[in-house]
Structure 1
Amino acid sequence: MAEHPPYPVGLRLTGRRVVVLGGGQVAQRRLPALIKSGADVHLVSPEATPSVEAMADAGEITWHRRPYAEGDLADAWYALIATSDPDANTAASAEAEAHRVWCVRSDDADRATAWTPATGYSEGVTVAVLTTDARGRDPRHTAAVRDAVVEGLRDGTLVAPHFRTRTAGVALVGGGPGDPDLITVRGRRLLAEADVVIADRLGPRDLLAELPPHVEVIDAAKIPYGRYMAQEAINNALIEHAKQGKSVVRLKGGDPYVFGRGMEELHALTEAGIPCTVVPGISSSISVPGAAGIPVTHRGVAHEFTVVSGHVAPDDERSLVDWPSLAKLTGTLVILMGVDKIGRIAETLVAHGKSPDTPVALVQEGTTSSQRRVDATLATVAETVVAQDVKPPAVIVVGDVVAVGPDGTAA
C-alpha cells in the first residue's frame, strides 16, 4: 500500500455518523472541521480537554464518557482514532477495517485507511494538501504548502479568477494610506480578479503594476487645483463597465467612506441596479500619524480624537465643521485635505481658545517611501508649511500627542 499515493476525495459528511475516539489535543484540532461539515459527531472518551468539553456542552457533539468498546464504529461513515491506549487504537482500527469505515489514526498513519490533509479555506475554496510519498511524509512541509496556497489566494498574489460563479458588479475598495502592503486581503484579491480598475491618485499605485495586461486601468485622479475626473464621469464609468458584464474595482485611497465619496458612488450604482460590494480600508487619519510615530490617543494625554476635513476654510459658508467647539476639546484633532487652509484653520482654533503653543505635525505622503514629517505649533504652522514646501497629500495632527516620544512621555 505504501507504494501507491493516496486518492484525494472530499467527503460529504452532513448528517452522517462520525466517531472520534479520544478527547485530547488531536480531537480538539480536528473536531471543529468535522462540526463545520455538518457531521453527526460522536466522541468516545472518558476525559476531554476543556475546549472539547465545551463543544459537547454546546450540543455540537455527542460525548460518550467512557473508553472505546467493540461496536462503537457500527454505522459510522468515518472514524478518527486518537486515544492514548495503543491496544484500543489497534482494536478500533480492526473494527473499522471489518466494517469498511474509513479510519484515520493519529498514532500510526501507516496502519490507517485514510489520512487527514493539511487544510485551509479562502472564499469558498477548500485547499487540502497531502504528502504523496508515504516513505517520506513531512507534515511541516505539507502545512507550509497549504499556508502558501491559502495566503496567495487571500492576498491576490496567487491569481485564480472565478469563471462559472463570477458575476458582474463593482467593488468599492479602500486601498489604505498608500503603502501597497496596507490594503486589506479582500481588497487585494478583488483587485487581482478585476477586468477594470478605476483608480484614485491616492490609492496604492504600486499595485497597478501587478495587474494582468488585459485589465483596463482608468485614471480617476483628483489633483488639487489641477486636472481631475469629475465625479459624475466616475459614476458613469462604473455603471457602463459593469453593465458590459465586467468586474469593476473602484480603488480609492484610505477608506471609501472617510471623505472618499464612497456613498455617492454606491447611490449611483444602486439607482442603476448594479450590485456593489464595499471593502473598508485603513484610514489615513489613524495610520499615517501612527507611521510617523504619533498615537492619536495616549493614556494621560488624549482620550479622544476627532477627524475633520479641511478642504474648505473655517470662514467658508460651505464649511460644516464646528471649529469653535473643536478649539475647546482637549483631545487630538486630525485634519485631512487641509494643507493649503492650515493657516486660517490655526488662526480660528487660537481665536476660540486653543493655545498657540499647541503642537502640530504634518505628515506628507504617509506610509510611502516619500514620507516625511514636519513639526510646528499653531502659531508657526502657516509659515512652516511655506518654508518647508509641504504639499498634499498630508495628514495634519494637532494636539499634545504630537510631542509624545517613544518612551511614552511628552517632550
Structure 2
Amino acid sequence: MSLDDALEAVLAMAARVDAPQTVDTFDADGRVLWEDAVSELRVPPLDNSAMDGYAVRCADVPKAGIVLPVSQRIPAGHVGAPLAPATAARIFTGAPVPQGADAIVMQEDTEPADGGVRINAVPKAGQWIRRAGEDIALGSTILKAGTRLTPAALGLAASIGLGQVQVARKPRVALFSTGDELVTPGTVAPGDMPPGSIYNSNRYFLRALLQRLGCEVTDCGIVPDNREATIRVMQDAARSHDLILSTAGVSVGEEDHVKPAVEYLGELNLWKISMKPGKPFAFGQIQRSGSSLEGSAHFMGLPGNPVSSFVTFLMLVRPFILRLQGVQDVAPRVFPVRAHFETRAADTRREFLRVRQNEDGAVELFSNQSSGVLTSAVWGDGLVDNPAMTTIAKGDIVRYIPLAELLQ
C-alpha cells in the first residue's frame, strides 16, 4: 500500500477523542482547542497611541516649528478630555487618543518651548494611531477549533479575556517494545551485555515524541517474543487507552507475534507500506473487554529498526494523534531546496532520506542511510521526501521537510 493511501485509511479511523477539558490558559500550551474562540470585545478597545509623544490636530500644525500649549497629560490606562483646539496633549504609548486629535507626533520630533511644545515635523492624519479593533474585531473568531495552541495563540486568547479554554482531552497511549534481545538502559552495564542483546532505544524517542504531541503515555516496558504475553499486554492496555503503540514484531517471521495477536483480539486493517525506511507497519483495532469505555482501542505497530520506527512515527502516527485531538491540517510543510548530493540507484519505494542544510541552504545527505543508523536522525535537520523510482542529481530541486515541522 502506498504511504498516501495508508495515511488516508489511518486518518479515516481517527475520530476525535471524547469530552473536552477546561484548562487555564496559562497551562494550555500545545493543547488543541475544542471550540472556536470568539471575541466579545475589540482589540484595542479604543484608538490609542503607538508612541510616546503628543496628540494634536493636523490643522493646528500646518508647518514645522509651531508651538502649542500642552493642555493635558494622558498616561496609558487613563482617558483624557476632548482635545481643545490649538493645543497638544502629552500622551504615552497605549493611552487612548483624545477626542478631536487626529495624529500623534512622536517625542523625538518635538522639543519644549515657552511652557508648551514645539512641533518640528508636520504630522499626517492618522500617524502613530492604532485604531480600535485593528487587531481583533468584535465578534470575530480569533482561533478556530482544532488549532494547536502556541505561545502566541495563548497571548491572543488572553487578549480577549479568556482565562480558561476548552481543549481536547490528551490521548492516552500505551507504549511497549517486543523482543527477547532488548535490554533497558541502566539495568545492565555495557560490558555485561549478553551476546546478541541490544539496548532498547525506540521506547525512549517514541515516548518523547508522544509527549510532545500532548499524549498521556503509559510505558508497558519490553514484552518478550511470546504470543500469549503479547496478547495479555494488549488486552490490558485496550481497557484504558485510546491507542496502543508497539515497536518490532510486525513482520511475518516466526518470532513476530504482534500481527497475529492483533488479529486474535480484534482487526488488522493494513500492515505493509511502500516506504523506506519503514515497510512493516500494522494498524488495527483491539476490542475492549472488562472496561467502562466502549468500542475498541486503536493499535499501531512500528518496525523494530530505530530509523524505520522514527520515520514511520512521523509520517503516520503523528498525523493520527493530531487528528484524534481535532487537528485537521496534519500535513507537514514541504519546501523546495537544492540537493548537494546524488543518488545512484532508484528505489521501488518512496524514500525519506536524512539530510542537513548547509550554509548555502542546499541539503547534504548523511553517508549511511541504513534503517538501523539512528545517528542519521540526530545529525540531520530534515528529511527529503523522494518519490519511488527517482534518482537525484546534484543541483536537483528536492522536497525537504524540516524536522522542526515534525518534532514540535
> How does the TM-score come out when normalised to structure 1?
0.26
Report 1 or 2 for greater relative contact order, CA contacts < 8 Å, sequence distance ≥ 6: 2
> How does the TM-score come out when normalised to structure 2?
0.26
Could you say which structure has the higher helix fraction? 1
